Amino acid sequence: MKTYDAIVIGGGPGGYVCAIRLGQLKQKTLCIEKEEVGGVCLNWGCIPSKALIAAAHTYEKMHSMGTMGIKVGSVEHDPNAMQDWKEGIVKRLTGGVRGLLKSNGADLMAGTAKIVSPNRVEVTKADGSVETIEATKGIVLATGSSTIEIPSFKFDGKQIIGAKEAVSLREVPKRMLVIGGGVIGLELGMVYQAFGAELVVVEALPTLLTGVDQDCVKVVERRIQKRGGKIYKNAKAMGYEKQADGSLAVKIDIEGKPETIVTDMVLVAVGMRPNSRGIGLENVGVNVDKRGFVPADEFGRTNVPSIYSIGDLSGPPMLAHKASKEGEIIAEVIAGHKAAKDWACIPGAIFTDPEIATAGLTAEEAQAKGIEVTVGKFPFAALGKAMAMMETDGFVKVVTDKKTKQVLGVHIVGPEASTMISEGALALEMAAFAEDLALTIHPHPTLGEAFMEAAAHAMGAAVHIVNR
Ligand code: NAD
């Protein structure tokens, strides 16, 4: 029987990062993956969607180039060429991950793994053969999550699709209805809206992107509507009927009132479910919570000490960078080093148009904790660089403790929000105060100045807007 120090089940951004780090720490490591390394993130999630989003953004911008004095003639898009380009990126990255595993000494095995004892897994390979492998120091569960299907909208891969199909469309539908006004629904819905699809968003709750600063969300909402999109909140998609012309008549219930919307394609984006079934957890008594997550302690351990859980499987937020960070920490723990999950915040980036990015508490969350807050805000409309980029929608918002002015949260909607939020995350990690941000010289002319000004605004000292 093959024996390793550690076995990692799943080669996504949690699992492969953990395996690479284990290899770097000279632990004999095996990573088992049943599909392609890179998981959802590289194969059909983060990276492919960001390629399409970048293409959509460029396409959108081309249409307004005339204002800048640039004539571009007719602008066309070719979904086939775009898909080929996107697939090339995915191939390069998955190949890169394989190379990194190898060069760091971690073995990769293709197959489906199941736990059979606290330190053994059974791997079923493509040819049906089964191999049992031992891990002397730990087994890391990094199996990720899968798209949730609604019974009345069973995926057919053509007209009723999930995110996996939505990043691979080789034809842009004339009309697209998105069920779920969350991250995936808005990111991908806006891509196809930019390429000309009439977009309808149906969200069950009273707000889109629930939990995200709603001032930020409103900016995105307005953009969707300005492009002709329709948003229904407090609305549930009940079912659909296929029409003679091939279109779909989707029945929705808006606060008790029935409505029918005709569309060509339905994107179901109502969340992801942790992959905790079928991996043998019951064989060893690993705890699974009501929602299917496998909870872990600060060291990444489940209730069975030799078994670790990481990423989407271990609990929300379901974000690649959270999974990767947990992977690194667990690798250190397995190698016997002092390490634990002790971050101040997990920043989030939502690639709508414009982008939204957040770190730490919203003003409402801070107030709910009994903290009085002062909020500083600076609009991109008042920033020279944003004007020069023709991207003036949005703002930077800095939430501070009213008494101490310690930074509690940062919320950005606007150009490059996803890049700028790292400064907010650093501020929170370093327990910075508004003046730390405001007194740091930010180069001019840059979008980052909005950060400095928002922090100064929280202190009543912004220069380029009126302080109230
Ligand atoms: P989500 O939880 O972000 O949004 C799902 C939305 O669907 C919610 O607003 C929910 O209220 C709504 N909903 C649920 N059932 C419904 C119904 N029957 N009718 C209408 N609306 C309904 O989930 P998602 O967008 O599918 O994304 C899945 C996960 O992937 C999330 O956890 C997200 O964090 C992650 N993700 C993150 C990013 C990013 O960070 N940029 C990008 C993509 C996905």
DSSP assignment of 304-334: STTEEE-GGGT-S---HHHHHHHHHHHHHHH
Assign 72 a pLDDT band (cuts: 50, 70, 90).
confident
Q: 6: closest CA among 122, 143, 142, 135?
A: 135
**Domain identity same for 141 and 8:** yes
Q: Kindly state whether residue 342 falls inside one of the protein's structural domains.
A: no
77 annotated binding-site participant? no
**Domain identity same for 277 and 329:** yes
**Domain identity same for 355 and 452:** yes
Assign 108 a pLDDT band (cuts: 50, 70, 90).
very high
Ligand 1 within 6 A of CB of 186: no
- Domain ends where: 236, 255, 270? 270
**Measured between alpha carbons, how far is 423 from 133 in angstroms, rounded to an integer?**
44
Indicate which residue's Cα is closest to atom 38 of ligand 1: 183
**Domain identity same for 382 and 242:** no
pLDDT of residue 205: 98
Q: Kindly state whether residue 375 falls inside one of the protein's structural domains.
A: yes
* Residue found by looking up tokens 């089940």 in the block: 9
Report which residue type is found at 53.
I
Question: By three-state DSSP, how is residue 455 classified?
Answer: helix
226 annotated binding-site participant? no
Q: How many angstroms does the Cα of residue 147 sit away from the middle of ligand 1?
A: 10
464 is catalytic: no
Q: What is the mean pLDDT of the chain?
A: 97
Indicate which residue's Cα is closest to atom 23 of ligand 1: 271
Portion of the chain with pLDDT greater than 90, in percent:
99
**Measured between alpha carbons, how far is 242 from 171 in angstroms, rounded to an integer?**
20
**Domain identity same for 43 and 110:** yes
Average pLDDT rounded to a whole number, residues 9-29: 98
- Domain ends where: 282, 304, 334? 334
Assign 444 a pLDDT band (cuts: 50, 70, 90).
very high
**Measured between alpha carbons, how far is 465 from 318 in angstroms, rounded to an integer?**
37
Ligand 1 within 6 A of CB of 203: yes
**Domain identity same for 322 and 200:** no
Q: Which residues, including other chains, have CB under 8 Å from residue 338's CB and lie 6 or more apart?
A: 332
pLDDT of residue 3: 98
Average pLDDT rounded to a whole number, residues 205-225: 98
Q: Is the dihedral of CA 121, 106, 13, 34 positive or negative?
A: negative
Portion of the chain with pLDDT greater than 70, in percent:
100
**Domain identity same for 319 and 356:** no
Q: Kindly state whether residue 214 falls inside one of the protein's structural domains.
A: yes
Ligand 1 within 6 A of CB of 210: yes
Ligand 1 within 6 A of CB of 274: no
Q: How many angstroms does the Cα of residue 79 sit away from the middle of ligand 1?
A: 25
**Domain identity same for 315 and 371:** no
pLDDT of residue 466: 93
What domain range is 353 assigned to?
A: 348-458
**Domain identity same for 307 and 398:** no
Exposure string of 229-251, with b = 16+ CB inside 10 Å and e = fewer, is: bebbbebbbeebeeeeeebbebe
Task: Report CA-CA distances (Å) from 408 to 35, 48, 365, 375, 437.
Answer: 41, 33, 10, 10, 13
Total number of domains in the chain: 3
Question: By three-state DSSP, how is residue 55 classified?
Answer: helix
Residue 263 exposed, middle or buried by CB count within 10 Å (0-12, 13-18, 19+): buried
Average pLDDT rounded to a whole number, residues 230-242: 98
Assign 85 a pLDDT band (cuts: 50, 70, 90).
very high
The pLDDT tens digits of the residues spanning 287-336 come to 999 999 999 999 999 999 999 999 999 999 999 999 999 999 999 999 99
Q: Kindly state whether residue 465 falls inside one of the protein's structural domains.
A: no
Q: How many angstroms does the Cα of residue 18 sit away from the middle of ligand 1?
A: 26
Average pLDDT rounded to a whole number, residues 403-419: 98
Start-to-end C-alpha separation, the chain: 71
Q: How many angstroms does the Cα of residue 74 sit away from the middle of ligand 1?
A: 36
Q: Kindly state whether residue 296 falls inside one of the protein's structural domains.
A: yes
Average pLDDT rounded to a whole number, residues 157-186: 98
Ligand 1 within 6 A of CB of 417: no
**Measured between alpha carbons, how far is 345 from 35 in angstroms, rounded to an integer?**
31
Average pLDDT rounded to a whole number, residues 161-184: 98
The pLDDT tens digits of the residues spanning 350-370 come to 999 999 999 999 999 999 999
Q: Kindly state whether residue 155 falls inside one of the protein's structural domains.
A: no
Ligand 1 within 6 A of CB of 205: yes
**Domain identity same for 194 and 306:** no
Indicate which residue's Cα is closest to atom 41 of ligand 1: 350
The closest-lying atom of ligand 1 relative to the alpha carbon of residue 186 is 25
Q: 314: closest CA among 352, 281, 284?
A: 281
Strand partners for 106: 29
Ligand 1 within 6 A of CB of 181: yes
Domain of 360: which CATH number? 3.30.390.30
321 annotated binding-site participant? yes
Q: Kindly state whether residue 111 falls inside one of the protein's structural domains.
A: yes
The pLDDT tens digits of the residues spanning 259-272 come to 999 999 999 999 99
Q: What is the dihedral of CA 142, 143, 148, 151, to 10 degrees?
A: -150
- Domain ends where: 222, 237, 270? 270
Domain of 220: which CATH number? 3.50.50.60
Check 411, 444, 457, 464 and give the catalytic one: 444
Indicate which residue's Cα is closest to atom 9 of ligand 1: 182
Q: How many angstroms does the Cα of residue 121 sit away from the middle of ligand 1?
A: 32
Report which residue type is found at 339.
A
pLDDT of residue 308: 98
Report which residue type is found at 380.
F
Q: Kindly state whether residue 153 falls inside one of the protein's structural domains.
A: no
DSSP assignment of 122-138: EEE-TTS-EEEEEEEEE
Average pLDDT rounded to a whole number, residues 71-91: 96
φ, ψ (nearest 5 deg) of residue 222 = -60, -40
Within a 10 A sphere around the Cβ of 49, how many other Cβ atoms? 21
Indicate which residue's Cα is closest to atom 12 of ligand 1: 180
**Domain identity same for 400 and 445:** yes
**Domain identity same for 9 and 113:** yes
Q: How many angstroms does the Cα of residue 217 sit away from the middle of ligand 1?
A: 14
